Amino acid sequence: MDFSGIIGQKRVVESLQRSLAENRVGHAYIFTGPAGMGKKTIARIYAGLLLCENPKHGSSCRKCTACLLDENGTNPDFHRITGDNSIGVDLIREMQEDVIIKPVYSKRKVYIIEDAGKMTEQAQNCLLKTLEEPPSYVVVILLADNYEMLLETIRSRAQRLNFTRYTSEEVIKAVTAKYGDNPELSRLAAEYSDGNIGKALELAGSSEFKQLREKVCELLAGALEGNAKILMDFSAFLEENRENIEIILEIIQLYFRDMLVAYETGNENMLINSDKKDMIINNARIYSSSRILSTIDTIWELKRALRQNANYQLVVDNLLIKLQEDNRW
């Protein structure tokens, strides 16, 4: 177990490797950044290296008892703490009861608290007692999508490592490594994932995404041409695909982005949905750039509204109204 297979997050990886090489491991870390940036994967690798009895050159030996148990998921010196909707104080109290027991097979005990931002205030205050006076062998790693969800008293007692969005090149590399050399698939997954490798891998391996994209582009092209029946079909389609509304909005937004590129530059090589270039160019011919930009802005607002738990039907109605607007030249 080592970091050799990790793509991106260079600064984070180098910091963790340096802590191991210099034997300057902190007692608490906060891995923070958007979901899908590799926080859990890197935390798990780091935990394995901390638990190994004979790590060499930044790699675990994979032979010691700690490593063998770790591979089987049965190492008593490693603990993963998580909850469904929240992490309550009882889970943290259980952790505290375990913390006072010395390691069995390793020099350290490692606790990874997933979705640490879901800890209740009471749970965070309880954890604070461990962070203030941790046993020398304890390492706590908190994974948080939103750093601000953690109390200041927690943040001040842990080292913060920021996970940033991946570049398109890094996402393409990850998709290619898992699914083979398929430039079109890798490129689309990269563009639709917004720098999120987890999302890109999920999309690339999803036949549902491919079918969804085909259907959305088909319905959208017809709706933009003013076909009333297709617009009604689009409405029914959105109702049937409530659980996919976020990716549907992403598909629509990138389609309009391509329309703007086609309208402004005419460069087909710059299109994300290059396989849909004929539909995109045809739609771009009958809409003004101001209409396209206005629709892109509206979709941004609808995506934000959804994240704030807006009414689904209201979002769909606003989208359909926007698509029907007669803002042609």
Q: Which pLDDT score, from 0 to 100, does residue 326 have?
A: 47
In the chain, which residues have pLDDT < 50? 326-329
Is domain 10-162 classified as CATH 3.40.50.300? yes
At 327 the pLDDT is 41
pLDDT tens for 213-247 read 999 999 988 888 878 888 889 889 988 888 888 88
Domain ranges in the chain? 10-162, 206-324
**CATH hierarchy code of domain 206-324:** 1.20.272.10
Q: Is the pTM of this model over 0.85?
A: no
Show the 3-state SS of the chain. Answer: CCCCCCCCCHHHHHHHHHHHHCCCCCCEEEEECCCCCCHHHHHHHHHHHHHCCCCECCECCCCCHHHHHHHHCCCCCEEEECCCCCECHHHHHHHHHHHCCCCCCCCCEEEEECCHHHECHHHHHHHHHHHHCCCCCEEEEEEECCHHHCCHHHHCCCEEEECCCCCHHHHHHHHHHHHCCCHHHHHHHHHHHCCCHHHHHHHHCCHHHHHHHHHHHHHHHHHHCCCHHHHHHHHHHHHHCHHHHHHHHHHHHHHHHHHHHHHHCCCHHHCCCHHHHHHHHHHHHCCCHHHHHHHHHHHHHHHHHHHCCCCHHHHHHHHHHHHHCCCCC
